[in-house]
Amino acid sequence: MGLIEIIKSGFSKPRLISIVYMIQLILALTIGLQVYQVFGASIGNSLSLEGLKEGNAHMVINDLLNTHGASLSPLLGQVRWMVIVYLIVAAFVHGGIWYSIIKQYEKTSIWVGGSTYFLRMLIIGIVMSLIFIIWSALVWGPYLSKIQYWMEALASEEPILWGGIAIAVLWSFGAVFIFVASCFCKIFVIRDGIKVRVAMWKGIKASFKKTWKCLPVLFAFFMILALLYIMHSLVDDWTLFSTTIGVFVLFLIQQLVVWIKIGLRVSTYEYLKGRL
């Protein structure tokens, strides 16, 4: 199956994509309103953010923490709850998507799949997230802990740069492996009806065998997403969208990009389902 056919297989389920989009939009609006209220009440028209226009992000962050730290601390304290909410919503959504792809695609399939496989998807999501965090710490920890010493000891920053690129490439391969293993685990749970523990073990073993073969297609999806982000960033800077109508049009473009990203995710899942 070619790349075009793989993409079509995902976008052939517009109802599924739209429902996932609406769930994500509601979650984003809920979190965004909290952030807006905190910033509006505590920072308001503060000039602290003006430095962002000049690229002084580090100075802006320090100033915000020093000047408005007391107001921001409740918001920062809610991050852990946002992570929990994200895991719960993601478990439901992934259960619905995979059920729609593997079992049946109907109007209610995302709700049936999400509720039926919610707990199992949640367990897989938590375990795989922990594996990803451990992998990231093992790969980046030694490098980041030594970077200050190397900057003072080495005559040039070039070895540090190339070392960072090498670490990033290694980390990316591991991240792709974990992603594929997570998808395979969910396929085994829903398709074969086996226990989560057994499915995770089979998913990890299958990922060792098949991730390398999946890399070209997954890389193609990554490049499509990167192109979308680049096009979005270019459009975002157009002065044409500085008017009220322009802002509305830009918002619609942003939401279209989000919808396409969800469609590409479904296409990726369709492709990985066919690898087993």
pLDDT in tens, 42-70: 555 454 444 444 444 444 455 555 555 55
- Cα(168)–Cα(200) distance, integer angstroms: 26
* Among 227, 205, 226, 207, residue whose Cα is nearest residue 215: 207
Residues 70-112: pLDDT tens digits?
555 555 556 667 778 888 999 999 999 999 999 878 888 899 9
* Among 192, 220, 212, 186, residue whose Cα is nearest residue 94: 186
Q: Decide: residue 275, CB within 10 A, 0-12 exposed, 13-18 middle, 19+ buried.
A: middle
State residue 56's pLDDT score: 47
Residues 18-42: pLDDT tens digits?
999 999 888 888 766 665 555 555 5
Task: Determine which of 31-35, 62-66, 171-175, 195-199 has the lowest per-residue pLDDT on average.
Answer: 62-66
Sign of CA dihedral 27, 29, 35, 37: negative
Residues 181-191: pLDDT tens digits?
999 999 999 99
**pTM metric for this prediction:** 0.81
- Cα(202)–Cα(212) distance, integer angstroms: 17
| Residue corresponding to tokens 């523990």 | 197
Mean pLDDT (the chain) is 82
